[in-house]
Amino acid sequence: MISVHDAGRESAVGDLATFRRELHRCLSARADALFELADAVLCADGPVRSLPALSLVAEHRRGHGALYDALGAGRIDVQRLRTVVASTPIPRAADGRIVLAVDVTCWLRPEAHTVPERILCHTYGRGKDQHIGVPGWPYSFVVALEAGRSSWTAPLDAIRLVPGTDLAAATAGQVRDVLGRLIAAGHWRPGDLEIWVVMDAGYDGARLAWLLRDLPVRILARMRSDRVLRRAPRPWTPGPKCGRPPRHGSEFIFGDPTSWETPDVTTVTETRLYGTATARAWYRLHPRLTRRAAWADCPELPILEGTVMRLDVQRLPSGATAKPVWLWWSAGADPAGDPDAAMVNRLWQAFLRRFDIEHTFRLLKQTLGWTVPKLRDPHAADRWTWLIIAAHTQLRLARPLAADLRHPWERPAPPDRLTPARVRRGFRHLRPTTACPASAPKPTRPGPGRPPGRPNRHPTRRHDVHIVISSDTTSQKTRKKKSTNPRPRRTG
């Protein structure tokens, strides 16, 4: 018999063992209990439905009291853990570049009146086609996307948005920190392709491009269909009655096809899921900024030029009505860098890959139990969030090692196409082959607790939900019903 050395498998085992050892070093208090809690999440049978039920998993050798004590009194060196996560292998796009996706997901706590720092979170689908604000903790995630159809992403960072946070400024700082760690880990070097950051319509792509203009990144953001952008002004001839040079040219109204003129690039692609996909692009368009909100203190308003793309597809896989998608791509200083036909196709396909982050959110919430604990302290929620991110990172590192333990009614899948849930089924068999630095628990006995018959004389403080209230008295009046044909937004 000939023994074949599997270098790829040995490397994957080494990466997983190294990450587990570094994870244990990042746990500065209640380290063993926190580490075994993460293992219990990975080795539990089925989705995590209850936090104390994790203490019954064989890999968790401590009681439920130690579990709650670890979340309440444990400590995690989050900055060091961020560096460890960024040092792991990062998925890349088909051309070898790094593509990051940014999005906000909420840990809803609608009836937790004793929980501080709750914000009204935007939710959809909790009523019949209704957008409802539900109190909770919003978390901003940054993940790395991979090429092709996949439910795998690489969560690199997560921060909780406290009341009063400026989303654009917080996102810019978060992306800046992530890029700094990726560069320090050697994932990006001078001369490599620029990093793409993809986001949905809830972000101000032009402002983020301005805040990150000193970094090797490009912003690809979805825009609302009621926006109005401006073209570059026409050549100006000075004269005694000509006034000052114009800063903005003619309007480009998303809802008015007569203002579009001839697109600079038009591509037609045949796809399996969406039928015929038609993309049109217009170069050098910019929003008209005004001195308000984030630009109130700006001494000179910048001209933030970019490429606007409109994507039309023939059908949707769900059968719903296919609506056009408007995308904004941050342009560089050199007009020669405007996207050509091949780049336009890669851009709208990269935006479709952004929806892979929704698979990650569903896995975190429905399988790993991210939003299951009813925690009161937001700092404990942050610790639990990073434990879940560490657990997902271990699943990603164990991806080439796991076997397909499918159910009888599931179709077989090749090893490179296993979903995170299938990899989790076999993690219990991989755990003994990797590092397990947690020590055995010491024998102890439960505390006496509060004596029977003595009431709790320290009631928990109740907190209100943070609601932004405008100082303008007119905003407190009854709002009129939204028009079916709203006015286009002409300022950015």
The answer to whether residue 10 scores a pLDDT higher than 90 is no
| CA angle (141 as vertex; 291, 372 as ends), nearest 5 | 125
What's the pLDDT at 337?
Answer: 72
What's the pLDDT at 5?
Answer: 37
Element (H or E) spanning 167, and its range? helix 167-184
In this prediction, residues 439-447 reach a mean pLDDT of: 83
90 pLDDT band (50/70/90 cuts)? Answer: very high
What's the pLDDT at 187?
Answer: 95
The answer to whether residue 216 scores a pLDDT higher than 80 is yes
What's the pLDDT at 145?
Answer: 95
The backbone torsions φ and ψ at residue 27, rounded to the nearest 5 degrees and listed phi first, read -90, 105
What's the pLDDT at 477?
Answer: 47
What's the pLDDT at 6?
Answer: 47
pLDDT digits (tens, 9 = 90+) for 460-476: 888 888 875 444 444 44
The tokens for 201 are 């319509």
The backbone torsions φ and ψ at residue 308, rounded to the nearest 5 degrees and listed phi first, read -100, 130
5-19, 425-439, 440-454, 474-488: range with lowest mean pLDDT: 474-488
3-state secondary structure of 270: strand
The answer to whether residue 386 scores a pLDDT higher than 70 is yes
The tokens for 39 are 């293992």
The answer to whether residue 7 scores a pLDDT higher than 60 is no
| 10-47 per-residue burial string, b: 16 or more CB within 10 A, e: under 16 | eebbebbbbbbebbbebbeebbbbbbbbbbbbbbbeee
In this prediction, residues 375-402 reach a mean pLDDT of: 95
Decide which of 314 and 474 is more confident: 314
pLDDT digits (tens, 9 = 90+) for 91-105: 999 899 999 999 999
The answer to whether residue 307 scores a pLDDT higher than 90 is yes
Nearest of 199, 201, 475 to residue 357 by alpha carbon: 199
**Which stretches does DSSP call E strand in 361-434?**
none
What's the pLDDT at 336?
Answer: 65
What's the pLDDT at 472?
Answer: 43
Q: What is the mean pLDDT of the chain?
A: 88
The backbone torsions φ and ψ at residue 471, rounded to the nearest 5 degrees and listed phi first, read -75, -15
222-231, 239-248, 398-407: range with lowest mean pLDDT: 239-248
The answer to whether residue 149 scores a pLDDT higher than 90 is no
The answer to whether residue 237 scores a pLDDT higher than 60 is yes
In this prediction, residues 49-78 reach a mean pLDDT of: 93
294 pLDDT band (50/70/90 cuts)? Answer: confident
The answer to whether residue 127 scores a pLDDT higher than 70 is no
What's the pLDDT at 447?
Answer: 79
What is the Cα–Cα distance from 41 to 63, expressed in whole angstroms?
A: 15
Decide which of 63 and 130 is more confident: 63
In this prediction, residues 393-413 reach a mean pLDDT of: 91
Decide which of 478 and 340 is more confident: 340
| CA angle (74 as vertex; 73, 80 as ends), nearest 5 | 145
What's the pLDDT at 481?
Answer: 60
Give the N- to C-terminal CA distance of the chain in Å, as an integer: 70
Radius of gyration of the chain (CA): 26
What is the DSSP code (8-state) at residue 466? B
308 pLDDT band (50/70/90 cuts)? Answer: very high
What is the Cα–Cα distance from 43 to 39, expressed in whole angstroms?
A: 6
The tokens for 105 are 């997901």
325 pLDDT band (50/70/90 cuts)? Answer: very high
In this prediction, residues 385-406 reach a mean pLDDT of: 94
The tokens for 132 are 């409802």
What's the pLDDT at 471?
Answer: 40
In this prediction, residues 423-427 reach a mean pLDDT of: 93
On whether the CB atoms of residues 282 and 259 are closer than 8 A, the answer is no
What is the Cα–Cα distance from 45 to 60, expressed in whole angstroms?
A: 13
Strands 195-199 and 275-286: unpaired
What is the Cα–Cα distance from 314 to 321, expressed in whole angstroms?
A: 9
What is the Cα–Cα distance from 49 to 367, expressed in whole angstroms?
A: 8
278 pLDDT band (50/70/90 cuts)? Answer: very high
What's the pLDDT at 91?
Answer: 93
